[in-house]
Amino acid sequence: MKAAIYFVCLCVFSNIIVVSAILDVIVGAVAHFTDRLFQKDDLLEPFDYERLKTDLKDSLYGQHIASEVVLKAVSGFMTDKHPSKPLVLSFHGGTGVGKNHVSNIIARSIYKKGETSKHVHVFISEHHFPHKEQVGTYKFQLQQWIRGNVSSFPHSMFIFDEMDKMNPGLIDAIKPFLDHYPHVDGVSYRKAIFIFLSNDGASVINQIAFDSWMDGEERENLQMNSRGMETNIFRDVFNAKNSGFWHSTLIDAHLIDHFIPFLPLEYRHVRHCVIDQMAALNITAKDGLADRVAQELLYFPTQEKIFSVKGCKSVRQKLLLHV
């Protein structure tokens, strides 16, 4: 009798295990199908050189150097079937000059969901890495996050904002991922994109722009190598204490492909930003409104008042005061 009861219990238990295993398979299959279903619209766009060129031309003001370098660097990388390393760009310049904007333009040229794609990962130094005493933990977490995302989607993009506020040494944790290795622990990073945004180097860029203006040179004649611009940015960033790139091995090992300068914006560029915001907010163009808003921003140097202190950053807020 006891044997019969034991046999019945064993059968029931076995059936439960089988059913559970089947359910696990079904749940896994449904999860996989659902994941694929919702990810199908979050993949790569067929790269379009003309679209990227047009976006940079139509919505980026006063940044002919950045526009030209970004267009060539991104298009060259995206059309290279076998890149030897990830694309690594470093944007430098003051507040509101277009560094974040260009990052978004790049994302829109690569992913169907643009900057909102789950494959675009943005790290803000003071938000994601606030505590100096936890740099060791942040290094490990950062490596794990990048490794996990690139292993599942090789064309992932990583944007590091506020590099000038990042704890020194932290960013060196990702050095192996930026190098020329075909694989690191079984993962290839060669199709990934890394973009660094920093205010470091702004003083160098602003001084060169001002000297050029004082010498009567056309702004559009400034290039990456004008007056030693890229070299001086490189040095300024590398020696900026309490900054994310201070004596960084990423710079020492020449893993950053381009240090791209973003010039300070002049009145005419700010005015274009005002007009764009008017269109975005469906504000009817009133007589002289764009000029009135642009004139309310602060400009430097104190006497000449050539360049906007905050670029286009406060344009929207200033405009709303006139609505």
DSSP state of 301: S
Rounded CA separation 47/123 (Å): 25
Rounded CA separation 201/234 (Å): 8
Please indicate if the annotation marks 99 as binding a ligand. yes
Please indicate if the annotation marks 199 as binding a ligand. no
Neighbours of 37 (CB within 10 A): 9
DSSP state of 165: G
The alpha carbon of 139 is separated from its chain's Cα centroid by a whole number of angstroms, namely 19
Angle at 37 (CA atoms; ends 35, 39), nearest 5 degrees: 65
Rounded CA separation 248/38 (Å): 39
Please indicate if the annotation marks 94 as binding a ligand. yes
Rounded CA separation 79/109 (Å): 13
The alpha carbon of 90 is separated from its chain's Cα centroid by a whole number of angstroms, namely 9
Please indicate if the annotation marks 76 as binding a ligand. no
Rounded CA separation 61/262 (Å): 10
Rounded CA separation 269/304 (Å): 17
Tell how strand 120-124 and strand 258-261 pair up.
unpaired
The alpha carbon of 89 is separated from its chain's Cα centroid by a whole number of angstroms, namely 9
Angle at 106 (CA atoms; ends 54, 206), nearest 5 degrees: 85
Please indicate if the annotation marks 93 as binding a ligand. yes
Please indicate if the annotation marks 96 as binding a ligand. yes
Q: Give binding residues for ATP as ranges.
A: 93-100
Binding residues: 93-100
